[in-house]
């Protein structure tokens, strides 16, 4: 996916992998996210590698669900920040983006609290904080 000049670091080409995984702005956000998921040494060298990581069979269903929720929120907020910056809105820091991801993750997990098997998702999210 080629979507033009890159907004965060002014490289010549903005690609999905660079925008969402390799740009230092995104890397900093992913470092916080992976720390909170308890997998700080994980590295995504491509979109396909990230998808493969998300679909690992060795995870418990709860851990997989938490990872899916958090990764979706991360991709969404990086993309939203890219659009905000591209449309000349005030840029924010990677930490501010992570705080938004943290808040939306907590909101989603609190909303699922009454569902069978979801009571431990919030504690999983807090486990490595």
How many alpha carbons fall within 13 Å on the CB side of residue 21? 14
CB under 8 Å to 78, separation ≥6 — which residues? 19, 20, 25, 26, 29, 97
Tell me what pLDDT residue 13 has. Answer: 73
Partners of 2 in the β-ladder: 15
Per-residue pLDDT tens for 35-65? Answer: 999 998 888 889 999 999 998 878 888 889 9
CA 53/CA 68 separation, integer angstroms: 10
Q: What is the DSSP letter of 114?
A: T
DSSP string, 54-95: HT-TTS-HHHHHHHHHHHHHHHHHHHHHHHHHHTTPPP--HH
- Model confidence at 6: pLDDT above 60: no
pLDDT tens readout for residues 82-105: 888 888 788 789 999 999 999 999
**Token pair for residue 72?**
């979706």
In sequence order, the 6+-apart residues with CB closer than 8 A to the CB of 76 are none
pTM: 0.86
């Amino acid at each position: 996916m080629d979507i033009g000049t890159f907004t965060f670091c002014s490289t010549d080409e903005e690609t999905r992998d660079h925008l969402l995984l390799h740009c230092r702005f995104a890397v900093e956000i992913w470092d916080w996210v992976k720390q909170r998921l308890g997998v700080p040494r994980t590295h995504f060298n491509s979109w396909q590698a990230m998808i493969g990581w998300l679909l690992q069979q060795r995870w418990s269903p709860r851990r997989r669900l938490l990872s899916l929720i958090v990764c979706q929120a991360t991709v969404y907020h990086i993309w939203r920040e890219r659009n905000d910056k591209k449309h000349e809105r005030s840029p924010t820091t990677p930490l501010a983006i992570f705080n938004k991801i943290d808040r939306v993750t907590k909101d989603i997990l609190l909303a699922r609290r009454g569902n069978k098997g979801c009571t431990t998702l919030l504690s999983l999210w807090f486990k490595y904080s």
